Amino acid sequence: MNSREVRKSLEPFKNFAPAILYAAEIIESAEKAEGILAGFEKEKAKKESEISDLDVQLTGRRQELQKVTREVEALKPSSTRIRDLEARELAVASREASVLAREEKVLAREEKAKHLASTLAGFGSLDS
């Protein structure tokens, strides 16, 4: 086969050459796009992993917050507790008043006893 015959045999494909080259460019562009998509998939997986880690941290923080909230609520006095404490304060105040009154009576008795003792001592000195 000589060059002329080769050219003649390729003559029917001459019209298809630009289309074949254009198809090759399309395939090359598709391959590049697939590479870019693969990169995006890697990035997406990385971001999903980060989101998962943040979700775990968020859940932990929420549990800590709930614990602190329960502790704060436990420290808040309820109205029943307040009434009980107020009743106890009134009882203590009345007991204190009662104790003070008894102390005053005891002091008065002691003063009276001292006075009587000094009066008796005065009578004892008259006898001698």
Predicted TM-score (pTM) of this structure: 0.42
One DSSP character per residue, 29-93 reads: HHHHHHHHHHHHHHHHHHHHHHHHHHHHHHHHHHHHHHHHHHHHHHHSPPHHHHHHHHHHHHHHH
Q: What is the tens place of the pLDDT at every residue in 72-83?
A: 887 776 677 778
Identify the sign of the CA torsion 124, 125, 127, 128. positive
Please tell me whether residues 95 and 123 are part of one structural domain: yes
Q: What is the dihedral of CA 109, 113, 115, 121, to 10 degrees?
A: 180
Please tell me whether residues 58 and 1 are part of one structural domain: yes
Mean pLDDT of 115-128: 75
Please tell me whether residues 2 and 54 are part of one structural domain: yes
Please tell me whether residues 70 and 82 are part of one structural domain: no
Please tell me whether residues 71 and 123 are part of one structural domain: no
Read off the tokens for 16: 């298809």
Residue 121's domain comprises: 78-128
- For residue 127, is pLDDT > 80? no
Please tell me whether residues 5 and 50 are part of one structural domain: yes
Please tell me whether residues 88 and 27 are part of one structural domain: no
Read off the tokens for 8: 């003649």
Please tell me whether residues 6 and 17 are part of one structural domain: yes
The residue whose two tokens read 């998939």 is 41
Confidence class for position 63, pLDDT limits 50, 70, 90: very high
117 vs 57 pLDDT, higher one:
57
Q: Which of 1-15, 21-35, 58-72, 93-107 has the lowest mean pLDDT?
A: 1-15
Question: Cα(32)–Cα(73) distance, rounded to whole angstroms?
Answer: 60
Please tell me whether residues 55 and 108 are part of one structural domain: no
Please tell me whether residues 68 and 93 are part of one structural domain: no
Please tell me whether residues 49 and 111 are part of one structural domain: no
Please tell me whether residues 66 and 40 are part of one structural domain: yes
Residue 73: the pLDDT is 80
* % the chain with pLDDT above 70: 95
Residue 126: the pLDDT is 61
CA atoms within 13 A on the CB side of 26: 6
- For residue 128, is pLDDT > 60? no
The structural domain count of the chain equals 2
Q: What is the tens place of the pLDDT at every residue in 3-52?
A: 888 778 877 777 777 888 888 899 999 999 999 999 999 999 999 999 99
